[in-house]
A and B are shown apart, each in its own frame.
Chain A
């Protein structure tokens, strides 16, 4: 009996300890010579093994290599950067590891630029290192507006998306009839940020937010949250859940029969999410996409080349990493050097266009704005080939897609 007593005590204690441990979890963020060290080094720092591996990860390294090959092909002997190396590391979505790796990349591996860095806290850490070392950092994977707000600096650029842009895109469906909204968001930094952005964007667009419901994170059972969100009879139910929680939410949303009564809008979704859960479960769901591989001929050609290398279709993060690396090399070409200040000068205020950036512009706060899209997930019967999952409903012009330049940012 004594044994059982002890077991009972252990079980109780460990349950408590694990609960506490679970609370800490968090979601999805040269010198005077011509070329320093005779080599331009592009470093991709992202999640190579965890939750964001599929949506960016190793395939973003491939995308950056594609940009290098395209640059070399375009300029041949005239290329300012004749020797280019691409390196990568896994930051495991942890800010402390991101910090250490970034220092190592800039100092020891002679990186001239760091790319990607999903997870907002990790991205902010790397932005700090970039500022200190006076080396470039182009963030693709993280969503926080802080990067171009209070934490902005001369050497940091934000390329693909941020929470404000996601909200603006989703709120654009107010004019398609989605006036009344219920929002369900995970109760931690990213979720609260998204809830705030969505609420103000929907109000600006002329809609109303009837309810904002916080949920624990992570969470398995959303049944009652969904009933509650539906109780005010909204046109649109918006969820800010991501990863496994998003899948839990969508499966239970579909079973509840709400799909026939309200549109489901997802705050942040990647095409890899649709692929993993199956297009049927997401059919009719709307979300903001920064880029879609099957949008036009130009995107498709690039996606075909990407597929040859990786055997999969690109997410917007893959395309954005390609674009960021390419525009960096173009800036080096224009500047005639990889000196950080000179390259920053060649990027600032520039209008840019490539396969990812449509009507792109590097703003004063270093937010790189471009056309974005309101997308709807196709029905299974409309899917013509693997990864053919999205219908683009609206193109949101770059000028309307982002919040105005933040007053909190002074470079």
Chain B
């Protein structure tokens, strides 16, 4: 029984991280309607930039947690201004292909500059060791990632639902014409929201640096799981991303524990089942299906 609780805790901890990593994807889709396939590459960039800043200027984990997402936000703004904005009015496929291409370019540039073997990263101070609770124990860092991810998810949710900015952003995307008629400059909000989503991907990358391999390819496999998360949760739904993040984390942990060979397949079986029953995902609005 204690083994089962241990696996459950691990699943929840992993799920929290998935939720955070998928959050930016959900926000960008919810607001811009862009399926951002460069999300995995931006996650990778967040981790690589952290490792490079640590190596070159000695920037440690804690300041990186603030500075790297800001850099990634600026990068996102640049991407939106230079590329994404021109395709927003066209079929969604165009931006999908564009971001896919951007991902390929980013991965290859990192490979060219930093090779393929992976970059070293330290264990952040204060987060080493394990937390014990009776016979159960979890790595301190894993618990931190979980708590931090939840905090960010709640903040983003509050920002979107409880503040004036969130209201304008949501109105701009749901009813752009009527919002314009009310005297709000809709286009002004598109760029920062895209940057915000990319910043969240970068934040997930910084969190990944101490417990994942930092290589150019690290986002390639990961983005697939993230897409499973947002599809299960309902594209564009912040709450959906969080709930689905936990579901995927749990399914993965139980899979690893009880059916090792099938732990990854189980995630996609779950995705298929959810789409069969609720095509828009758990928290997607039915009319979008």
Contacts and interface: CB of A to CB of B under 8 A. Distances in A.
A22 B192 CA distance: 33
A5 interface: yes
Interface in A184-221: 187, 213-216, 218-221
A210 to B, nearest CB: 14
A98 to B, nearest CB: 18
Contacts of B129: 257
Most central of A11, A18, A22 by chain B CB within 10 Å: A11
B264 A219 contact: yes
A231 B3 contact: yes
A228 to B, nearest CB: 6
A255 to B, nearest CB: 4
A257 B117 contact: no
Interface in A269-306: 272-273, 275-278, 281
Nearest to B90: A3
B117 A8 contact: no
A187 B264 CA distance: 12
Nearest to B13: A223
A interface SS class = helix
Contacts of A222: 256
A7 B217 CA distance: 25
A6 interface: yes
Contact of B252 (A221, A251, A257): A221
A18 B142 CA distance: 28
Nearest to B140: A255
B215 interface: yes
Interface string B88-111: 000111001000000000000000
B289 A276 contact: no
Interface string A43-57: 000000011011000
Contacts of B157: none
A219 B236 CA distance: 26
Interface stretch (B68-76, B180-188, B206-214): B206-214
A346 interface: no
Contact of B7 (A8, A227, A251): A227
Interface residues of B, number: 67
The B contact surface, by secondary structure, is helix
Interface residues of A, number: 55
A302 B34 CA distance: 56
Interface string B213-252: 1110110011111011011000110000000000000001
A277 to B, nearest CB: 6
A22 to B, nearest CB: 6
B68 to A, nearest CB: 19
Interface string B33-55: 11101000000000000000000
Contact of A10 (B96, B115, B120): B96
A247 B118 contact: yes
Contacts of A7: 29, 33-35, 92, 96, 235
B235 A218 contact: no
Contacts of B214: 247
A16 interface: yes
Interface string A3-40: 11111101110111011001000000000000000000
Residue with the highest number of chain A CB atoms closer than 10 Å, among B3, B92, B213, B252: B213
Contacts of B14: 221, 223
A275 B223 CA distance: 28
Closest 8 CB pairs of A and B: A247-B213, A224-B256, A276-B117, A255-B139, A278-B120, A216-B264, A15-B227, A244-B213
21 contacts: A4-B29, A7-B34, A7-B235, A8-B235, A218-B221, A220-B212, A220-B218, A220-B225, A223-B14, A225-B256, A225-B260, A227-B6, A227-B257, A244-B215, A245-B213, A247-B214, A255-B141, A256-B130, A276-B118, A277-B120, A281-B120
Given A7-B92, A10-B92, A53-B115, 19 more contacts: A6-B92, A7-B33, A8-B235, A11-B230, A12-B271, A22-B221, A22-B224, A216-B265, A219-B264, A220-B218, A224-B252, A224-B257, A244-B213, A247-B215, A248-B212, A254-B123, A255-B141, A276-B119, A281-B120
Interface of A: 1, 3-8, 10-12, 14-16, 18-19, 22, 50-51, 53-54, 187, 213-216, 218-225, 227-228, 231, 243-248, 251-252, 254-257, 272-273, 275-278, 281
